Structures are given as structure tokens and as C-alpha cells.
Amino acid sequence: MTNIEVTGAAVPRFSRREIAEFARTVLLTLEKLDKLKDEITEASIAFVDDDAMTTLNRQFRKKNRTTDVLTFPADDSYNEPAKAQGRPLGDIVISVDQARRQAADEKHSLATEIRYLILHGILHALGYDHETDSGEMNALEVEVRAAIGLE
């Protein structure tokens, strides 16, 4: 089983255990869809406020504003041949403040928005990039959402 570490700010009505279990469900679904090249051994999900996210976004993306999710893959070798022991996924950082605004805009719960962002972050950690691909990441997000009943 993949070890998922959840840290940072609390998410109302969405426990750390539920967050970790959701991330495992996403990984299991991606495995069933034959989108994982090898086992993911661990991942980290951190929840921060807008100030912390702005600092990270400025430091790593040179953008002086908040964002909803940043992903830091464990390494850049995910597309290389699989290792027998599996690999760590990396770190996913989510702004609870930004997620709350997006949930209000989309008229769904904060927990639902957090689920969307966890899925989005996992796909980025696996090497998908909606800014450079031709819709592949977005299509896979829709497919995974449907498979796990997250609409």
C-alpha cells in the first residue's frame, strides 16, 4: 500500500485519513487504467494558505501570485523503465484558501475541490502537463473522475 503523508492546514469535513485514502484510490484507478508504469511507494500532500503558496509559486515558477496546486515530482525519471521496488511520487501542495474560492465559484464542497486538486497534482507528478500536451491530461482527469464517481 502506498504511504501517503498529509500535512499542514486542516481541511474542514475531510480528515487526513480520508485525504490519504482518496489519493490511494486515484493511484489504484490509474493502475487499473494502465497509466502507472510501476508501483508508487509514497507521496506527500501538504495544505497551505495563500501566503505560503504565493511564496512557493514565486520561488519555483517565478509567478508572484497564489495558485491552487503545485506539484514537485520525486524525480524526473518516471518515464524511464520501472524499478522493481517502485518509486516515490513526490510532493503535492494545495492552497486551502484558493481551493475554498474555487469550490464557491463552482458551487461544490471544499472536499470535492480538494479531491479535484489531489487528482490534478498526482497527474502532474506522473509527468502529465495540460499546458504542453494536446488535451491528454484533461481527458485522463475526466476518465478518472468518472471511474471513481467524482463528477
Residue 21, C-beta contacts closer than 8 angstroms, at least 6 positions apart: none
Give pLDDT tens digits for 79-112: 554 455 688 999 999 999 999 999 999 999 999 9
**Mean pLDDT calculated for residue range 1-30:** 93
Angle at alpha carbon of residue 51, lines to 89 and 95, rounded to 5°: 40
Give pLDDT tens digits for 41-68: 999 999 999 999 999 999 999 999 999 9
- Match 501538504 to its residue by C-alpha cell: 46
DSSP output for 38-60: S-EEEEEEEEE-HHHHHHHHHHH
Count: domains in the chain: 1
Q: Is the pLDDT of residue 76 over 70?
A: no
The range of the structural domain enclosing residue 100 comes to: 3-148
Q: What is the CATH number of the domain that holds 18?
A: 3.40.390.30
Residue 139, C-beta contacts closer than 8 angstroms, at least 6 positions apart: none
Q: What pLDDT is attached to residue 13?
A: 84
The band of 77, judged by pLDDT with boundaries at 50, 70 and 90, is low
Instruction: State residue 100 phi and psi, 5-degree precision.
Output: -60, -45
